[in-house]
Amino acid sequence: MQEEMKMIYLAVPLVCLIPAIVAGLFGRKIGRIGAHTVTILGVGLAFFLSCYVYMDVMDGNTFNGTVYVWGISGGFPFEVGFLIDSLTASMMVIVTFVSWMVHIYTIGYMHDDPGYQRFFSYISLFTFSMLMLVMSNNFLQLFFGWEAVGLVSYLLIGFWYTRDTAIYANLKAFLVNRVGDFGFLIGIAAIYATFGSVDYSAVFASAPSLVDETIEIIPGTSWNMMTFICIMLFIGAMGKSAQVPLHVWLPDSMEGPTPISALIHAATMVTAGIFMVARTSPLFELSETALSVVLVIGALTAFFMALLGLVQNDIKRVVAYSTLSQLGYMTVALGASGYAVAIFHLGTHAFFKALLFLGAGSVIIAMHHEQDMRKMGGLRKLMPWTYATAVIGSLALAGIPPFAGFFSKDLIIESVHASTIPGSGFAYVAVLAGVAITAFYSFRLLFMTFHGKPRMDEHTLHHVKESPWVVVVPLVLLAIPSVLAGFMFMEPMAFSNYFEGVIYVSEEHDVLGAIGSIYEGKTGFSLVMAFMLHGMVALPFWLAVGGILLAWLFYIKKPELPGKVVDSVKPLYNVLVNKYGFDDFNQTVFANGTVKIGKFMSEYGDRRLIDGFFVNGTARVVEAFSRFLKPLQSGLVYQYAFAMILGLLGLMTWFLRVAQG
């Protein structure tokens, strides 16, 4: 049985990898239909196998072991291994499901694109990478998946590689992720240095006994090793999960085709950081400092990125900023030690965010690739399916019961409220404010796009029609979990032993236990009802409703209001439009500064010193020697014999006179 399950575990990533290779290398031979058939079948199979694995894990069968030893160097094994538990299984189901929906949707969205096969190859490869990341049982393979995901996202953001903006965006994503990865790699190295292993189980088992280890980075100051490791790992998470200040790549990455925005920049890749922190909870729990850092960074992201969502006019960018903000919520949950809630929100968010992105994509198709919301409006009647699913997505995002987002977001807010970690007070305010803003901008999007009078030109309006079924079906399939996932999984994920032995929370940080005690004795439906009723009378719900009403006032009732408000707070508005100046700062200081240093080094360090003096200089000296020595071979035999005699004399002199003293 164990062996069979091992084969299934192995099959899940491979059925994604093999079609990716087939579609990538033989795309031209198998054609468009061939390419999408193999990849969709592969990922679909991966989804069903993941579900099977999930069921199996729910029956209590977990697995932790090596499947392949790639190499051993200096006694250090490089292994491919799987750790299959409730966390992994949940991630596998989420990843493969969203990816499968995106695959199907892509048939419609990329219909006319010349890079059709390449696209399918990339997204399958991406799914493979993400699966390797979540299924890993050691930090090294985690890093492999991490980098593979980064690579494929680079390829996908720059998918339309003839556009300058796309190239700029993918380079930016790649470079910013490098910063995070640098920290991550240091973190892994520190783990290896401290524990002598990169295996999760070995590291986590010995972590509590090494809690007092210290490290001297700057001589004379000693840092707690756990804090150091956790902060370094978290820097990695900040890059991948786009936390302030490494968030700058995510909005730009909307240059890629919409399906990958849904897949990579909403549902799966950016959640890698969240997943990683949850996975390493036994380490984070040992350092309150690190948790505090996580909490504050998350709160900053949640609040300030939400604000930026208010001023965007590009439909995809609004969704992108909402992603940033929601990732902030997940990070806040991690910081408050509510790892289970973070994963819960990760799951619900994956569904409704993919839904929103794909909905936005559906609108974009109908509008002939126009993405500016100011040129939309009134699409409600023309695209009923897209509209209905967008409403569900928006309600879920805004956190209105009984939609999925309500449960997970409310739990996060409650967790922060219950937390006593330094910074939790600030975080509580930030996430509360974020709720209202989120509700406002998500309904702003809904109202501007689907309600009011059509603002596009006659020609476009005339051609607007509901998208084909390959687009609509994934929307509907994603809408279902966006409604149901919340109350179906709240109790098992947050208030049961679902993550027992997987996620570790120390006694004093057990916020979920504290929340759970309010609902003591209630299970199943009554727990859900009690939670909803409690939520309805609490502040976050009314803030969300307030946000929605305000959006209605601004964009339906009195459309002239936004302009007036903007005029009255012009300086603030400009700050938001300029995204707090992060981009300008990075461009001026880091990008231009690096280019200047690089140019200097290239000219003086490389071209003059290394190339000019060392390399060519050496070559010239050698050549001169060569020319000097060549005539010694005169062709005259007595000179040759003389050379031999000289050699003999030389040896005799040296060894009989000089060496003898």
Partner 1 sequence: MNHILNMQVATPEIFIFSMACLILMIDLYTHDRLPLLSYWLTQATLVAGIYLGLGGMGTEPVTTFNGMFIHDGMSVVVKLAIMLFTLIGLVYSRQYILDRGMYRGEYYVLVLIAVLGMMVMTSASHFLSLYLGLELLSLSLYTLVAINRDSDTAVEAAMKYFVLGAVASGMLLYGMSLMYGVTGSLDIKTISAAIQGMQSDDVMLMLGLIFIVVGLGFKLGVVPFHMWIPDIYQGAPTSVVLFIATAPKLAAFAMVIRLLVDGFQSIAVNWSDMLVILAVLSMALGNIVAIAQANFKRMLAYSAISHMGYFLLGIISANPNGYSASLFYMIIYAFTGLAAFGLILLMSRSGFEAENISDYRGLNREHPWYAFMIALVMFSMAGLPPTVGFYAKLSVIQALVDVNMISLAVIAVLLAVIGAFYYLRIVKTMYFDAPEAERTITTGLDARVLVSLNAVMLLAVMPWIGTIMDLCMSAIQSMG
List interacting residues with partner 1 (CB under 8 A).
Answer: 619, 622-623, 625-627, 629-630, 633, 635, 637, 639-641, 643-644, 646-648, 650-652, 654-656, 659-660
In terms of CB distance, is 500 or 623 closer to partner 1? Answer: 623
Closest CB 646 distance from partner 1, rounded Å = 7
Q: Is 553 or 649 the residue whose CB approaches partner 1 more closely?
A: 649
Region of 73 please: left (phi>0), alpha (psi -120 to 50) or beta: beta
CA atoms within 13 A on the CB side of 589: 6
- Comparing CB distances to partner 1, the nearer of 518 and 648 is 648
Task: Name which of 219, 215, 239 is nearest 229 in CA terms.
Answer: 215
Nearest residue (CB) to partner 1, 578 versus 639: 639
DSSP string over 106-144:
HHHHTTT-TTHHHHHHHHHHHHHHHHHHHHBSBHHHHHH
Q: How far apart are CA 44 and CA 621, in angstroms?
A: 65
Using CA atoms, how far residue 82 sits from 27, 67, 69, 99, 651, in Å, is: 31, 7, 12, 21, 66
Question: Which is closer to partner 1, CB of 68 or CB of 628?
Answer: 628
Provide, rounded to whole angstroms, the least separation between the CB of residue 654 and partner 1. 8
Provide the minimum distance between the beta carbon of 645 and partner 1 in the complex, in angstroms, as a whole number: 8
- Among residues 379, 386, 390, 281, which one has the least CA distance to residue 333? 281
DSSP-based three-state secondary structure for 378: coil
Q: What is the Cβ-side half-sphere exposure of residue 268, based on CA atoms within 13 angstroms?
A: 36
Cβ burial 308-331 (10 Å sphere, 16+ → b, else e):
bbbbbeebbbbbbbbbbbbbbbbb
In whole angstroms, how close is the CB of 640 to partner 1 at the nearest point? 4
For 43, what's the count of Cα atoms within 13 Å in the CB-facing half-sphere?
A: 30
Using alpha carbons only, give the angle 480, 409, 482 rounded to the nearest 5 degrees.
Answer: 5
- Pick 568 or 660: Cβ nearer partner 1: 660
Q: Which of 219, 215, 248 is nearest to 231 (CA)?
A: 215
Closer residue to partner 1 in complex, CB, 205/644? 644
- Taking the least distance from each CB to partner 1, the nearer of 205 and 651 is 651
Of the pair 593, 647, the CB lying nearest partner 1 is at 647
Residue 365: CA atoms inside 13 Å, Cβ hemisphere, count?
27
Token pair 């998500």: residue: 442
C-alpha 354: how far from its chain's center? 14
Any idea what DSSP says for residue 81?
Answer: E
Closest approach of partner 1 to the CB of residue 611, in Å? 16
Shortest Cβ distance from residue 68 to partner 1 (Å)?
20
CB closer to partner 1 out of 469 and 625: 625
- Angstrom distances, CA of residue 257 to CA of 177, 192, 273: 20, 39, 23
Nearest one of 643, 647, 626 to 634, comparing CA atoms: 643
Q: CB of residue 661 vs partner 1: minimum separation in angstroms?
A: 10
Q: Smallest distance from the beta carbon of 238 to partner 1, in angstroms? A: 39
The residues near 283 (Cβ < 8 Å, ≥ 6 apart) are: 203, 204, 207, 226, 229, 230, 233
**Based on CB atoms, which residue is closest to partner 1, 218 or 629?**
629
Cβ distance to partner 1 smaller for residue 572 or 652: 652
Q: Minimal distance in Å, beta carbon 59 to partner 1?
A: 45
431-454 as b/e: b if 16+ CB within 10 A: bbbbbbbbbbbbbbbbbbbbbbee
Q: How far is the CB of 163 from partner 1 (least distance, A)?
A: 36
CB of 609 to partner 1, least distance (A): 19
Smaller CB distance to partner 1: residue 218 or 656? 656
Nearest to 345 by CA among 318, 327, 321, 371: 327
Please say which residue, 206 or 633, places its beta carbon nearer to partner 1. 633
> Could you tell me the maximum CA-CA distance found in the chain, to the nearest angstrom?
112
Beta-bridged to residue 65, according to DSSP, are: 82
Q: Which is nearer to partner 1, 480 or 644 (CB)?
A: 644
337: left (phi over 0), alpha (psi -120 to 50) or beta: left
Taking residue 592's Cβ as centre, other Cβ atoms within 10 Å add up to 11
Query: For partner 1, which is the closer residue by CB, 202 or 645?
Result: 645
If you count them, how many residues does the chain have?
A: 661
Shortest Å, Cβ 623 to partner 1: 7
- CB distance 475 to 385 below 8 Å: yes
- What token pair was written down for 346? 């990760």
| Bond from prior residue into 251 cis (ω within 30 degrees of 0) | no
Phi, psi of 507 (to 5 degrees): -50, -50
How open is the CA angle 557-563-566, to the nearest 5 degrees? 125
